[in-house]
Chain A
Amino acid sequence: MSANPPSSDERDPVEILAEEFSERHRRGEQPTVAEYVERYPEHADAIEDLFPMLLMMEKARTDNDSTPTAVEPPVGLERLGEYVIARELGRGGMGVVYEAHHERLARRVALKVLPEKAAVMSPRKLERFQREAQAAARLHHTNIVPVFEVGCDQDLHYYAMQHIDGRALDQLIIEMRDSRRSDFLCGTEVAVHTQVYYHRVAEIGIQLAGALAYAHAAGTLHRDIKPGNVLIDAAGVAWLADFGLAKFDESTLDLTATGAVLGTLRYMSPEQRRGEPTHSSDIYSLGVTLRELATLVRVHDDPTQAAPTPRLPRDLETILQKAAHEEPTQRYTTASALAADLRRFQDDQPILARRAGLWERTRRWCRRNPALAAASCIAVIAVLVAATSGWTGYVNTRDALHLESVQKTAAQKARKRAEENVQLSLTALEKIFDALEPVSGEARRRNGLGRPGGAPGRRGPGGRGGSNERRGGPPIEQEKLLLQAILSFFDELTRKNSSDPALQVAAAHAYQRVANLQTNLGESVAAQQSSARAVDLFEQLLARYPENDAYRVEWIEAKLRTIATTDTPTAIAARDRELKHLSGELTKLGAHSEADLLQVQLLISGGVLEVARGNVDAAEAQYADALRRCEQLLALRPPRRGAIQLFGETLRVYGEFLREEKQHERALDLFDAIEFSLSDRKAAHPRALHARAMIHQEKALVYEEIGDWSAADKARDDGRRLLREGGPLRPLSPRGRPGQRRRGPG
């Protein structure tokens, strides 16, 4: 461009002048083409050529703007058709409503004037309006406001309805919310949110649903049920107004109608919002209306901003949920079915509506979260079925946050809630773990303490690893699936929350516990994979928080479990390197309280490694060291958390080692010595009792191997007795869980 004016941003200079010219014209000035030609001679040609068109177009616009189609009835309106106007009842976006009298019939009516000039209403719309009004006029029902007449006078369309002496429900709801009294609604002094109040709500619902059922049978939809269209008269009768006519209240040009439109949207079913009003969408709107009446909380577009909702009677809640279900097929099929269920609630009969079951809720959740669902729908369902609570709330809240970033405080509140939900879910998961652990513990328990008089050889043909044979069958398969599901869930959870350390830790713990359970079920490969996930997470956490010893502890623990059990020379070399590395990491912990436990685990792993290398003496030295340290930990007051499990683990590995080495006598001596020191010190402590029970269990195994059956039986009996005395052994936490059983559970 030539001759750019300053700060033109490369705009055409004539265009800049044209903009100014047009704007001046819009401000009511009278700029002339000649004036511009004179002021900007360098652009004279272009201005002469083009500016007349600017004038033309600006003039065209103002001409067109001056033909409004919306209308306000004159304030001093005295008559309309055969009606004498008494007074104005209301005026707003929906047009004007008058109280009026029919001259000859001396009938008092409410006269509603449409906010659109008759002259500009399209014939199509006029025809529709008249047809709907006729349909409404044919409805005769105790709970429907009768329409008497539709007419047009003084360029105004209007319709006349029976005048109801009463109150509109929207106003009543506001009053009741503020006063906490429902005296008008109930006809007597009643506080809101009482039994009487809810029964009254049901009564109103029954009347309105009855009206709706009648109209539907007559082929008429209401299309706009909302509190503002429900009137309660002095006798307490509920009236439904504006059947099929509400939509004509909105003028195409009436800006104030938008508020009303929005108000209506709140009560509109999803399909109606898409332009498909049906019987079912009327039922939906009624459900939402009744819910608002029952709770006195307005349905809000943004759930995170909503006021807390009072807890409704469960059955009423269920009924209203069903009526206002997002999915039309899940709603009452007819308004009379809704009325009937409301009556059952009133009469304290069992209602027919069912709360959405877990399965249904899950299905819906999957539909609402297709991406996530596609990733792990089956898995999540399995977890949901087991966990029964928590997830949905969390995921919804999180998604809501993701989709609509609400105000910061609201977001924080919602986030807090989401976290609480996660916590709830994790607690639920704890329960699954707790439920699973005894079962799968049973699966791994070699010649379990609960199996008196077990015969030798029950360790199965596989010798060492025969854990599954005893339980066998589907239950284990289900457990495996469930564990897989849990894994998938946490995979998803961590993927989507990679920046949230608390969640990462929770997930890592869950992986660890899953690994424990998988080990118990004999799925050692899967267990290692689960542990590897935990290792991954802790490594990520350590990268971000290198000083965090708690993460380091857990990382070492998880890492220990992932160390391969294969005994090929390269694998052994790798194990050696890893153990040395972990040993180094362990020294970084210094006097950390968990360091001792980890040291024991390292010793056990080291012993196992030495066995694989064939260094029997070195192995035994490590086991003995481990056992000694366990004893010390058990001797602490209070005994170190997790020490008992670690002790049992050490004992088992050590015992197994000795049996493999055919050192039966030494094994029995060793066990007796340990038991003596334990019983000597704190005999009554449950942990000591548990420890001694474990020793007897190990002794029984030795006796069985050397064929001393009666001694074996006695050892088992002693073990059971000690176990009973000690009380239940608490399920293992992810922390303090001993190292992996790399020699297999058997």
Chain B
Amino acid sequence: MGKGNAGKGNAGNGNAGNGNAAHDKTLDPGQLDQLILRARGGDSDALGAVYGHYRPRLEHMVRLRMDRRLTGRFDASDVLQETFLEVTRRFPKYAKDPQMPLFLWLHYLTGQRLLQLHRQHLGAQMRDASLEISIDGGRAAMAASSLCLAEQLAGSFTSPSQVAIREETRNQIEESLNALAPIDREVIALRHLEQFSNDDVAALLGLSKAAASNRYIRALRRMKEQLGDLSSSTTF
């Protein structure tokens, strides 16, 4: 209630681009640059708005990686909120010397938070499920799980007429993803479900551009082997 009840006209929080809620997710590049600039100047509301801009993509990122066993304990918004705390804390340092583009950095921090949560709540089971991959000299990252990926990918088969085969399809996709090394699975997730470029993937995973490129192609081939007729029998 708050302001609204108090008879104030517009209860926006003063954030640019805050106007019309959920549908208007993206800021135009000019707005975004302005906000980033303000955030660098210490304006925490601006930082909030910038985070808001990227939030749908980050949420998507979380959904791809969150283990089923954790749902019920948290949801994606919990992770994002906690990540945002970390973002707020670290932003001044990041702003001083950005080591990677802003979104990649946010993505990275989200992944770190997710990793912590998984470690905390799943412990040893986590490694069994090969959710954790190690990247770039000792750092670790949270890999997309086969199941989540499969859910996403199987979505394309979910038309009313295909409901019956959906579950089977999902299983097949999951199997094909399981055949991938976790890091290759992660490359696929980043490339397609999160629309990162090869260079971004390389930066995120601490790989050379060539290595990221090769892994991607290798992963595609491997998936193709596993999926077999499935993809060829589907019309796009």
Contact = CB atoms under 8 A, between A and B. Distances in A.
B234 interface: yes
Contacts of B76: 252
Interface string A214-228: 000000000000001
A145 B51 CA distance: 32
Interface stretch (A6-14, A355-363, A667-675, A726-734): A6-14
Contacts, number: 252
B69 interface: no
A152 interface: no
A10 B22 CA distance: 41
Contacts of A661: none
Contact of A56 (B18, B81, B231): B231
B87 to A, nearest CB: 10
Interface in A53-89: 53-61, 63-64, 68, 70-72, 89
B15 A256 contact: yes
17 contacts: A22-B195, A56-B153, A57-B188, A63-B158, A68-B23, A72-B23, A89-B11, A164-B5, A171-B6, A231-B5, A252-B59, A259-B18, A262-B84, A300-B44, A302-B92, A404-B93, A405-B92
Of B6, B84, B232, chain A has the most CB atoms within 10 Å of the CB of: B6
A12 B212 CA distance: 9
A407 interface: yes
Contact of A262 (B22, B45, B193): B45
Interface in A399-449: 403-407, 410
B65 to A, nearest CB: 15
A49 interface: yes
A259 B15 contact: yes
Nearest to B78: A275
Given A10-B210, A52-B232, A60-B193, 10 more contacts: A56-B153, A60-B154, A72-B22, A92-B18, A97-B1, A145-B5, A168-B6, A170-B2, A231-B2, A407-B42
B4 A52 contact: no
Interface residues of A, number: 87
B68 interface: no
A253 interface: yes
B221 to A, nearest CB: 7
A57 B219 CA distance: 13
B214 interface: yes
A336 to B, nearest CB: 25
A448 B127 CA distance: 78
A89 B28 CA distance: 28
A704 B5 CA distance: 94
A122 B25 CA distance: 23
A386 B197 CA distance: 61
Nearest to A97: B4
Contacts of B56: 253, 255
Interface of B: 1-15, 17-23, 25, 40-42, 44-45, 47-49, 51-53, 55-56, 59, 72, 75-77, 81-82, 84-85, 88, 92-93, 96, 152-156, 158, 188, 191-193, 195, 197-198, 208-210, 213-214, 216-217, 220-221, 223-224, 227, 231-232, 234, 236
A89 B192 contact: no
A260 interface: yes
A475 interface: no
A56 B21 contact: no
A60 B155 contact: yes
A591 B76 CA distance: 76
Contacts of B154: 60
Given A12-B217, A19-B197, A110-B4, A253 B92 contact: no
Contacts of B82: 275
B85 to A, nearest CB: 6
B192 A112 contact: no
Given A71-B22, A97-B1, A164-B5, A9 B210 contact: yes
A140 B216 CA distance: 62
Interface string A299-313: 011100100000000
Of A12, A59, A255, chain B has the most CB atoms within 10 Å of the CB of: A255
A572 to B, nearest CB: 57
Given A58-B192, A60-B156, A256-B52, A91 B10 contact: yes
A52 B48 CA distance: 39
A39 interface: no
Nearest to B176: A53
Contact of A92 (B12, B81, B84, B158): B12
Contact of B9 (A52, A90, A161, A257): A90
Contacts of B213: 10-12, 15-16
A245 B107 CA distance: 30
A26 B42 contact: no
Contacts of B42: 301-302, 305, 406-407, 410
A59 B88 CA distance: 35
Given A10-B213, A56-B236, A260-B13, A241 B85 contact: no
B5 A250 contact: no
Given A256-B21, A259-B48, A52 B220 contact: no
Contacts of B72: 124
A29 interface: no
A255 to B, nearest CB: 4
A227 to B, nearest CB: 9
A715 B230 CA distance: 116
Contacts of A90: 2-5, 8-11
A57 B192 contact: yes
A15 B198 contact: yes
At the interface, is chain A mostly helix, strand, loop or mixed? Answer: mixed
A241 B221 contact: no
Contacts of B84: 258, 261-262
A254 interface: yes
Contact of A18 (B18, B48, B216): B216
Nearest to A273: B85
Given A9-B210, A15-B213, A262-B45, A255 B52 contact: yes
Contacts of B198: 11, 15-16, 19
A406 B41 CA distance: 8
Contacts of B48: 258-259, 261-263
B152 A241 contact: no
Contacts of A112: 1, 4
B129 to A, nearest CB: 22
A161 B5 CA distance: 9
A189 interface: no
A255 B224 contact: no
A407 B191 contact: no
A61 B10 contact: no
The 9 closest A-B pairs by CB, nearest first: A97-B4, A90-B4, A90-B11, A70-B22, A10-B210, A11-B213, A89-B4, A255-B52, A60-B156
B164 to A, nearest CB: 18
Of B1, B3, B25, B234, chain A has the most CB atoms within 10 Å of the CB of: B1
A575 B83 CA distance: 65
A404 B84 CA distance: 17
Nearest to A304: B42
Given A56-B234, A60-B152, A241 B13 contact: no
Contacts of B18: 92-93, 256, 259
B42 to A, nearest CB: 4
A252 B227 contact: no
A251 interface: yes
